[in-house]
Structure 1
Amino acid sequence: MRKLIAALLIAVILVTVVSMSGFASDCAQIREDILRIHVLANSDSEEDQALKLQVRDRILEESAGLFEHMEDKQETMERAQEWLPDLQAAAEDEIKKQGYDYPVTVELTHMYFSTKQYDSITMPAGDYDAVRVLIGTGEGQNWWCVMFPPLCLPVAQNHKQLTDVLNASQMDIVQGGVKYEVKFKLVEWFEEIKAAVESWFA
């Protein structure tokens, strides 16, 4: 009886792995093609959360039109790298303007995100390239969006749309919402385990 139960469990696991393989592959490609922006508040106080949004707005204002005509994420990352000092200066100026003296760091990094939803778009968990804006200790709730293709930046007409970057099955995933809730959880679980294992051997 135990052998039968074990065989059934193994069969279920194998079916799950096989059924998830295409989904996981599409999620990996989504992570590869997307550049995110991540703004971390100093704390969860009302004042610090308000400051986070003011810094966010200033960064988005400074980035307006910056990524027009960008053809792919790599080109966007190169442009973002060039503009980091300007974005850093803008963030510092806004913080000072609002009467705070928090340090702020604006950097291009590769970091882990859990599954996140922005309006009707859901981004699967995993490691993404991102422009990160760290205010003070960065211990408060954060705000995130997608820089490439620009879902949250005020841009002119000449910019890539999400449909220009992702294929049909990938678009179905990011727009799937509740339909893929369980699969998003499985991907998140897998990515968290993978990150833990990698940190053990780092």
Structure 2
Amino acid sequence: MKIKIIFKLVATALVMAFTFSVVSFAGACEDIESRVLRLHILANSDSESDQALKLKVRDAILEISPEIFGDTSSKQEAIKRAKADLPEIIAEAERVIRAEGYNYSVRAEVVNDKFNTRIYENFTLPAGDYDAVRIIIGSGSGHNWWCVMFPALCLPSAEGNELQNELPDSEKCIVDNNENSNGYEIRFGVVEAVSSFSDWLCSLF
């Protein structure tokens, strides 16, 4: 009887510790969401030419992003500038598309959408609801491309330090690929699963 009681107490303590760890980690992930503005580009189709065109549009938009954001120091300010410059973003995308000989329409908007965990060369972004500049080329039915528009992490010269500088010390290890271990990968998976389950529950009501 005593052994069963001890076992139950230990099991309860482990479950509580695991739950606290997941909740704390999820909170840190949500804080990261509040600090970055993603860039999300949808190609017209999955044809080789349309996918190549998507990447050319990507390069052009990333090239003008320093002009859009300038000395912006916060994500909220970055969102305001992005919304104000949507016509310029569309015009730049259209310029590239026309130069490549296509006549696709272009739509651009600032949205809040779900993103899965994404591992880049120098950093990792956990899954979550992120604000993003979304560019839709033509029908937008092709594979998409996404990265981070602010801070400027997807420019050729970016090494991930920009995001590191935006985060408190307690969150830097989450995004730093040099620090990430299998333990963090498991936590990313757990947070994604919990989020999906929560969304499913909400859809029932």
Which band: TM-score by shorter chain?
A: 0.7 to 0.9
CA distance in structure 2 between the aligned counterparts of 1:15 and 1:26, rounded to whole angstroms: 17
TM-score after normalising by structure 2: 0.84
CA distance in structure 1 between the aligned counterparts of 2:134 and 2:143, rounded to whole angstroms: 14
CA distance in structure 1 between the aligned counterparts of 2:162 and 2:139, rounded to whole angstroms: 34
1:47 matched to 2:80? The reply is: no
Counterparts in 2 of 1:198 and 1:88: CA distance versus 1, 3 Å: farther
CA distance in structure 2 between the aligned counterparts of 1:34 and 1:146, rounded to whole angstroms: 7
Is 2:62–2:149's contact at 8 Å kept on the other side of the alignment? Answer: no
| Post-superposition offset of 1:185 | 0.5
The aligned counterpart of 2:166 is 165
Q: Deviations over 1:102-136 (max 9, x none)?
A: 22211100000000012121100010000011122
TM-score after normalising by structure 1: 0.85
The aligned counterpart of 2:152 is 150
Identity rate, percent: 45
Amino acid at match of 2:122: S
| Post-superposition offset of 1:12 | 4.8
| RMSD after superposition | 2.5
Amino acid at match of 1:183: R
Name the larger-Rg structure. Answer: 2
5+ residue gaps, structure 2: none
Within a 5 Å distance, the mapping from 1:1-202 to structure 2 comes to 12-153=14-155, 161-175=162-176, 176-179=179-182, 180-201=184-205
Is 2:65–2:149's contact at 8 Å kept on the other side of the alignment? Answer: no
5+ residue gaps, structure 1: none
Is 2:111–2:133's contact at 8 Å kept on the other side of the alignment? Answer: yes
